[in-house]
Structure 1
Amino acid sequence: MIKSTDELTTQELITIFQARTEVFVVEQHCPYQEVDEADRQAVHVWLEEKGELQAYTRILATDDEIHFGRVLVVKKFRGHQLGRKIVAKTLKEIERRYPNYPIKISAQAYLVDFYRSFGFKSNSEVYLEDGIPHIEMCLPKAVNQSDS
């Protein structure tokens, strides 16, 4: 599923916000403003089965680059390569909507090799974001990824 915030149903929005809060606030013990102003303009990408959210990302566009983040796999669906699948789907949607735009992400440091496997390059030293080690990574322009 891929929808802008304005296209989401109320139930879809609540489901997305619940999953994000569970992963990024509760599981990671990180109290911060998880739902933010960027959500108003975001494009939401998610995988679901039988109406149950399994994995999610959000895409944010600026005038000169694209960002995506809030990448998650719901706990009970981990270990099935859904992280790889949701990132590939997100990159494919970015290429469709914003061809040839550079992509910049703020990756949790332990996921650097995962993002490198998609062609991302480290663009900073490790820094703390909400108390969690992150690194800025970039992909010079959106590249089409397979859904596998």
Structure 2
Amino acid sequence: MTTPEYKEWWVKRINNNVPGPSSKNSQSIEEYLRVVPSELEIIKQDFERRNAELEKKIEQMEEEKINLRLDIDVQKVEVEKLKKEKNKAEEDLDDLKMNYKKLRLSMRTDELGKTSEQWREEIREERNKSDRWESKFQEVQARNEVLEESL
């Protein structure tokens, strides 16, 4: 049994009621058949992209970490070298001071056949040497302090 509405519909149908192409929504077959990615696929792609970016950042940070470690090692070697130079300069300065004291003592106690002018000249030379060693010692000490502050 059919209803009157059905009969009316049956009469009005065209081409067995298969819709024909519409000029309003003219899309190419490729566009019509294109598969729209699901929300999960979009999230997955976004996650993979972000993961790749983070992996690159991690690699860069690891390289920077290695470079910083190398810099620290180089600075430690330099600090050790400067400490050795400082110790050597201190020893040399102590030796000069000791030699200077001995010279002054011998000058007081012994007459070595030199005139007082010759003694004064020798003292000036020793003082100049002592001053040079003192300034060198201070330079090494200043460099050492700068390096220790940078670490």
Q: TM-score range by the shorter chain?
A: under 0.3
Q: TM-score, normalised by structure 1?
A: 0.19
TM-score with structure 2 setting the length: 0.19
1 or 2 for the larger relative contact order (CA 8 Å, sep ≥6)? Answer: 2
More strand by share: 1
More helix by share: 2
Structure number with bigger Rg: 2
